[in-house]
Amino acid sequence: VCPTAALTEVNHVPKVWEALNDPEKFVVVQTAPAIRVAIGELFNMPAGSIVTGKLVAALRKLGFDRVFDTDFGADLTVMEEAKELIHRIEHGGRLPMLTSCCPAWVSFIEHQFPDLVDVPSTCKSPHIMFGTIANTFLAKKLNIEPSKVTVVSIMPCIAKKAEAARTELSIDDVNNVDIVITTRELAAMIKEAGIDFDKLQDEDFDHPLGETSGASVIFGTTGGVIEATMRTAYEWLTGEELKKVEFKQLRGLEGIREAAIPINGEEIRIGIAHGLGNARQLLEEIRSGKSKYHAIEIMACPGGCIGGGGQPFHHGNEDVIKKRQEALYKEDKNKKVRQSHKNKEILELYENYLGQPYGKLAHELLHTRYRPKERI
Ligand code: SF4
């Protein structure tokens, strides 16, 4: 079921029920951008149905103490990744910088290109960033012992299960996401609980940490992470407001794409690849010193997370992927705030807790390092 053919799925639903039934636990759930445009298919809705509000309502009915959006973690990722890219460009750092949200791709580079482990961004992925904030800032704000907080991530992805246990992502030997379940596992839980999903009234995510931008929701599709990052990096580099936040030249479903964005009289050259065969081509270029890019987004699954191994099966039907992708762009368009650095709750989190993006505490909590691993 994993499009990268690297993983088989282990059912973690019993662990979630166990946490929800434990009165000592404060169980926080977060749901990834790609879930809201795909889970409806498992309740007989057409591909591309946007069911964000019903999803939140279902998670509350299941008994989670707080319901959050991994999009908030994606906005945090943009803040950190845009600063890191600017830092590398301005201080002669390693270029191109590669996005690092996809654990299957990170594992691929560690094992297959161990000489290039300094090229990915050091940013942890959005759900790990959110789990870290839940265990630190949120636990303190709610006056709850971090050891009592259980963070459950609903992900489109089987590789995220292993990612959550990576020691490189822990803080003081504690991992900040406790359980990962896939879109399909969540749908099974909703059915098991007898919840009539399509009849649910829309509900909103909890606050604080519940406001999200349009930039964060497009993290779910190929090209979305780098588009979101450029919406912020452009304004930070030029000091000018973007007239149009959409970088349509970064969109599409071709396996390898590229675009050049004019900034301050120069060009920031972007590469995008989805599918590990395509990623390999761009990595070989970096290895041979022929890469022309400043930044590259790589996603292991065809289409990005909308086509992830934990999503409703689409059996290679590109039409389903297109509909999910269109739905994410529609959700982005409908958002009042469409750039991560204009999300008020993100700005408050930096002001009240994290300090500067890419600063000392942000580094301690939200960044990591990769190590070469044995070739497999
Ligand atoms: Fe997971 Fe696939 Fe998304 Fe990578 S692209 S994070 S493997 S769902």
Atom 4 in ligand 1: residue holding the nearest Cα: 102
Annotation says 84 is catalytic = yes
166 part of a folded domain? yes
Expressed in angstroms and rounded, the spacing between residue 301 Cα and the centre of ligand 1 is 6
7 part of a folded domain? no
Closest alpha carbon to 13 in 225, 226, 197, 189: 189
Annotation says 185 is catalytic = no
Annotation says 258 is catalytic = no
Annotation says 2 is catalytic = no
Greatest CA separation for the chain: 59
4 part of a folded domain? no
44 part of a folded domain? yes
Select which of 41, 49, 80, 101 is catalytic. Answer: 101
At 8, is the pLDDT very low, low, confident or very high (cuts 50, 70, 90)? low
> How much is the pTM?
0.96
Closest alpha carbon to 245 in 237, 234, 260, 254: 234
pLDDT of residue 2: 56
Per-residue DSSP letters for 109-174? HHHH-GGGTTSB--BPPHHHHHHHHIIIIIHHHTT--GGGEEEEEEES-SHHHHHTT-GGG-BTTB
3 part of a folded domain? no
pLDDT of residue 209: 98
CA-atom Rg of the chain in angstroms = 19
pLDDT of residue 57: 98
pLDDT tens digit string along 115-136?
A: 999 999 999 999 999 999 999 9
E-state strands within the chain: 26-31, 66-69, 97-98, 149-155, 179-182, 256-263, 266-274, 295-299
Phi, psi of 371 (to 5 degrees): -120, 145
183: pLDDT strictly greater than 80: yes
374 part of a folded domain? no
Residue found under tokens 């609903």: 154
pLDDT of residue 376: 59
pLDDT of residue 315: 86
375 part of a folded domain? no
Q: Which two tokens stand for residue 323?
A: 């509909």
Closest approach atom of ligand 1 to CA 305: 3
Is the minimum distance from the CB of 299 to ligand 1 under 6 angstroms? yes
How far is it, in rounded angstroms, from Cα 126 to Cα 71?
A: 7
CB 271 within 8 A of CB 340: no
Total number of domains constituting the chain: 1
**Domain span holding position 34:** 13-366
* CATH code assigned at 321: 3.40.50.1780
Select which of 124, 160, 323, 342 is catalytic. Answer: 160
At 316, is the pLDDT very low, low, confident or very high (cuts 50, 70, 90)? confident
Residue 240: count of CB within 10 angstroms of its CB: 10
How far is it, in rounded angstroms, from Cα 177 to Cα 13?
A: 15
Q: What is the mean pLDDT of the chain?
A: 96
145: pLDDT strictly greater than 90: yes
CB 226 within 8 A of CB 99: yes
How far is it, in rounded angstroms, from Cα 237 to Cα 249?
A: 19
Share of the chain above pLDDT 70, in %: 97
74 part of a folded domain? yes
The complex's ipTM works out to 0.99
Residue found under tokens 């434990």: 22
Is the minimum distance from the CB of 321 to ligand 1 under 6 angstroms? no
pLDDT of residue 115: 96
22: pLDDT strictly greater than 80: yes
pLDDT of residue 73: 98
How far is it, in rounded angstroms, from Cα 128 to Cα 148?
A: 17
How far is it, in rounded angstroms, from Cα 299 to Cα 73?
A: 17
Expressed in angstroms and rounded, the spacing between residue 263 Cα and the centre of ligand 1 is 30
Is the minimum distance from the CB of 159 to ligand 1 under 6 angstroms? yes
Closest approach atom of ligand 1 to CA 310: 8
